[in-house]
């Protein structure tokens, strides 16, 4: 009888744990806990600032395009105002992708910039997907710098 009770309690505990883990990773976050439009705009402005202050990512014309054109943005939540945001600027010869992860709009966010040759990345992919593009090589970077 004691073994049966222990088995029942362990089963109930396992089901509760599975339910909590499934809810935490589902990406279903209430509207209150999602980023507001202002917070999304702040993320885009942080990305724009970083891209335009660094000469190795884009030419002057491309920087002007980045400043005036909104990126394609996907956000995947794993907790309230926490997750992964992907911002893509689709330029004529390449795609500049800025990825931020972690607790949004805090100093604990991690930032990454990836540059892809045109046609090598799926722009409308879900933010939770693996990036399918080919990263540019060092030679590609030097070629980009010479074009300026």
Buried b / exposed e over 19-52, threshold 16 CB at 10 Å, is eeeeeeeeeebeeeeebeeeebeebbebbbeebb
Q: Report yes or no on 55 lying in a domain.
A: yes
Highest mean pLDDT pick, 15-19, 65-69, 133-137: 65-69
In the predicted structure, residue 67 carries a pLDDT above the cut 50 = yes
> The whole model's pTM is what?
0.61
Full domain range(s) for residue 97: 30-147
Task: Grade residue 141 by pLDDT with cuts at 50, 70 and 90.
Answer: very low
- Give ∠ CA 29-35-36 in degrees, rounded to 5: 125
Q: How many domains does the chain have?
A: 1
């Amino acid at each position: 009888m004691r073994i049966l009770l222990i088995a029942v309690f362990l089963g109930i505990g396992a089901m509760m744990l599975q339910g909590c883990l499934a809810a935490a990773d589902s990406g279903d976050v209430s509207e209150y806990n999602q980023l507001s439009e202002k917070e999304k705009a702040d993320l885009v402005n942080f990305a724009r600032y970083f891209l335009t202050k660094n000469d190795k990512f884009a030419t002057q014309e491309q920087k002007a395009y980045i400043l005036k054109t909104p990126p394609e943005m996907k956000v995947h939540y794993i907790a309230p105002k926490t997750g992964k945001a992907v911002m893509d600027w689709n330029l004529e010869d390449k795609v500049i992708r800025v990825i931020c992860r972690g607790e949004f709009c805090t100093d604990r966010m991690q930032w990454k910039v990836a540059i892809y040759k045109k046609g090598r990345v799926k722009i409308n992919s879900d933010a939770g997907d693996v990036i399918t593009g080919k990263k540019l090589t060092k030679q590609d970077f030097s070629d980009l710098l010479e074009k300026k």
